[in-house]
Chains A and B, each alone.
Chain A
Amino acid sequence: MLRPWPHLLLLAIILVLAACGPSDSPERAVINYIEAMVDADSVRAVNLACTAWEKQARTEAASFETVDARLEGLVCMEGDQVGEFTIVTCQGVIRAMYDGELQDLDLDRRTYQVLLEDGEWRMCGYK
C-alpha cells in the first residue's frame, strides 16, 4: 500500500514555494538583461524583458551581433518605485569595438525601469 505522508509533504512544500515571491531582484534583472544584450543573445534578452519591451530587447541584442563588446564594472542598485515600475540605476561601462574604434558606453547615463510580470522581475524600458 502506498504511504501518503511523503507525497502530502511534497505537496505542502510545493504549495508553500508556489506562494513565495520572486527569487530575483530588480537590479539582478537589469544586470542579466545587459549581459544578454552584450552577448547578443536575443532569446535570453527577450526572456528577461517584459511583454511591452520584447521587440526592443530583440533590436538591442541584435545590435551587438557584429560588435566585439565586453562589460566592465557593472553594478546596479534598486531605486524608487514609480507607478508600477521599480527604477534601477547602474554603473559600469560597455567597451565596444565599432569600425576598429574602441568606444565606451556608460551605463549610468540611463535609468532602467523594471516590472514585476508573471512573478518575475523583467527589464521594461528606460526612464
Chain B
Amino acid sequence: MSLVHITVFGLVAVLMSASSNSRWRGWGLLTGSVLAVYWLQPATTVRHFDFWLPTIALALTIFVWVATHRKTSFSVRVEISTSLVIAALVLAISFTRYLTIGWHLTQTRPPNALSILVALIGLGLISFLLLWIRQKSQLGLWLLASIILGLFIITKSDPLATWASSLARVWTGQLPELASSTDMSWLGFSYIALRLLHTLRDQTAGRLPALSLREYVTFVIFFPALTAGPIDRAERFVRDLRVARRITAIQAVEGVTRIILGLFKKFVLADSLAMIALNATNALQVKSSLWLWVLLYAYTAQIYLDFSGYTDVAVGIGRLAGFELPENFDRPYLKPNIVAFWNSWHITMAKWFRAYHFNPLTRFLLRRKPKLLPWMVIFLAQISTMVLIGLWHGITWNFLAWGIWHGMGLFIHNRWAAFLKAHSHVLPPSLRSSRAVKAASVLLTFHFVTIGWVWFALPEISLSMNVLGRLFGM
C-alpha cells in the first residue's frame, strides 16, 4: 500500500462511519473493498493479470459463500442483488479500458468487456452448480478447499508459479519462454486463502455463523486488511459490521494516531533501516563479524517495524470505519521465551495455525493407536505447525529451515519447562522470577529469533550457513 492508497482508504473509512445507516454502510464497505482489490493489485507482464487475479479472488469468495452459507434473515432477492452489484462493479472497472491510460483503476488497461461478461456468466453458472452439489454432498467444500490450496501453493512456489505464468502466456498469446514466477504476484491472496479456508473448515464443524453474501465478501476482502492482515474471524468481524454506529471523536483520534504511527514505523524507520538491513547482496560484501551483526540487528528491527507498521495502518483505518480489528503484535522482542514470542508476533496468523492445524493434529495424535509418547506428540505438532508457517511465507528451503528453527525452539522450550517443573530445585521459583534471570531470558529469546531471521532474510541455504558461520567468527 502506498501513501496515496492509505490516504484514500482513510477518507473512505471516515465516510463509511459517518453514516449510522447500517445498510448504506454495508454497501459502501462492499463497494470500497471490491474496488480496492483491483486498485491494489500490481501489474505483471502477463496481460490483464492485474484484472483477472482480483476477479478470481472475488469468484472464489462467492463460490465459498455459495457452498457454505446458512439461511439468514436476508431474502434470496437480496443475495442476488448483491451478486449483481458485484458484477456491475467488475464491469464498471472493465469500462475504464476505454479511458486514457492513467484513468484505469487497474494498473494496466482491463480486458475487453465482452470477455468479462462471458467470464461473469460462466461464474454464475458455476455458482448454480455449486448450489446443486451442496444439496447432495460436501464434495463442493472439498473441491473448493483443494482449488484454494492449489492456487496458494502455485503462488508460493517459484517453479510452479513460472509454469502457471507460461500457461497464462499461451492463453494471452504471449511468449511462454519469457514466463517468470513474479507474474503470479497475487496481492493479498495469502490472507484471502486463510480466510476462505477457515470458513470452509468452520462450516464442516458447524461453527460458521449465518452471513449474507455482502457480509461475507466484505469480510474476505476488507480493504484495510487486504495486503497484510490482520487475519480476522468471520464471527467477530460481522459483529462490528452489523452495528451501525458513528465513531466518536476519541475513536477518530485513536484511528488517525494509529495510522500516523504505522506510517512513521513503515515509511520512515523501516525504509531507512532497509538500506543497511541484511540481504543477499550485503551479506557477501561485509567481511567483519561485527558488521554482520549490525546488518542482522537492522533486519530484525526492520522486519518488525515494517510489518507492525502495516498492522497499525490497518487497525487505524479499521477503527475509522468502526471496526476493532484484532492486534497482531505485542512487543514480541521483549518476551522471555519462544512460546511468548509466538503469542505476540503475527498473533492472528499464529492463532489461525494453532486452531486449524496444531490443535486438531494434537488431538488426532493423542487419540491414535498405538499411543505416541506425549513428547513425540508435542514434537510432531510443533515442528509441523512451524514448518507450515514457514512455507506459508514461501515454498523455499530457507523458509522451511526457518520453520524448523522455530519448531525446534518451541520443542526445546517445552522440554526445558517440563524439566524445570519436575526439578524445581535446579532453578527455584524465587530465582526464576529475579530480574537478572528474566533479562537473560529476554536476551536469549531475542537472539534466538534474531539468528533465525538469517534463514528468513536470505534466499539460499548455502548463503545462510555462510552468514551464520561468519556471525560466530568461523
Query: Which chain B residues lie closer than 8 Å to A7 at the CB level?
Result: 84
Of A2, A32, A43, the residue contacting B44 (CB under 8 A) is A43
A60 to chain B minimum Cβ distance, whole angstroms, is 14
Whether the pair A43, B80 counts as a contact (CB closer than 8 A) is no
In chain A between 31 and 46, which residues have their CB closer than 8 angstroms to a CB of chain B?
A: 32, 42-44, 46
In chain A between 1 and 52, which residues have their CB closer than 8 angstroms to a CB of chain B?
A: 2, 7, 10-11, 14-15, 17-18, 20, 23-24, 28, 32, 42-44, 46-47, 51
B91 located at the interface, meaning its Cβ lies under 8 Å from any Cβ of chain A in the complex: yes
A10 to chain B minimum Cβ distance, whole angstroms, is 7
B98 located at the interface, meaning its Cβ lies under 8 Å from any Cβ of chain A in the complex: yes
Whether the pair A54, B113 counts as a contact (CB closer than 8 A) is no
Whether the pair B45, A17 counts as a contact (CB closer than 8 A) is no
Q: Describe A's contact surface by its main secondary structure.
A: helix
B417 located at the interface, meaning its Cβ lies under 8 Å from any Cβ of chain A in the complex: no
Query: Which chain B residues lie closer than 8 Å to A58 at the CB level?
Result: 45, 178
Of B44, B88, B97, B99, the residue contacting A10 (CB under 8 A) is B88
A14 to chain B minimum Cβ distance, whole angstroms, is 5
Of A11, A14, A43, the residue contacting B45 (CB under 8 A) is A43
In chain B between 305 and 345, which residues have their CB closer than 8 angstroms to a CB of chain A?
A: none
Annotate B162-183 by CB proximity to A: 1 below 8 A, 0 otherwise. Answer: 0000000000111100100000
Whether the pair A54, B84 counts as a contact (CB closer than 8 A) is no
Query: Which chain A residues lie closer than 8 Å to B2 at the CB level?
Result: none
Of A2, A23, A54, the residue contacting B98 (CB under 8 A) is A23
Whether the pair A55, B178 counts as a contact (CB closer than 8 A) is yes
How many of chain B's residues touch chain A, expressed as a range?
20 to 34
Query: Which chain B residues lie closer than 8 Å to A28 at the CB level?
Result: 100-101
Of B42, B47, B80, B101, the residue contacting A2 (CB under 8 A) is B80
Query: Which chain B residues lie closer than 8 Å to A119 at the CB level?
Result: 112
B40 to chain A minimum Cβ distance, whole angstroms, is 15
Question: How far, in whole Å, are A15 and B113 apart by their CA atoms in the complex?
Answer: 8
Question: How far, in whole Å, are A17 and B109 apart by their CA atoms in the complex?
Answer: 15
Whether the pair B112, A24 counts as a contact (CB closer than 8 A) is no
B43 located at the interface, meaning its Cβ lies under 8 Å from any Cβ of chain A in the complex: yes
Annotate B367-387 by CB proximity to A: 1 below 8 A, 0 otherwise. Answer: 000000000000000000000
Query: Which chain A residues lie closer than 8 Å to B101 at the CB level?
Result: 24, 28, 32
Query: Which chain A residues lie closer than 8 Å to B173 at the CB level?
Result: 51, 118
* Residue contacts A-B, CB under 8 angstroms, 5 given: A18-B114, A20-B98, A23-B97, A23-B100, A43-B43
Enumerate the 4 nearest inter-chain pairs by beta-carbon distance, A residue then B residue, closest first. A18-B114, A23-B98, A46-B45, A47-B108
Other 9 A-B pairs with CB < 8 A, given A18-B113, A23-B99? A15-B114, A18-B117, A43-B42, A47-B43, A47-B45, A51-B173, A55-B178, A119-B112, A120-B109
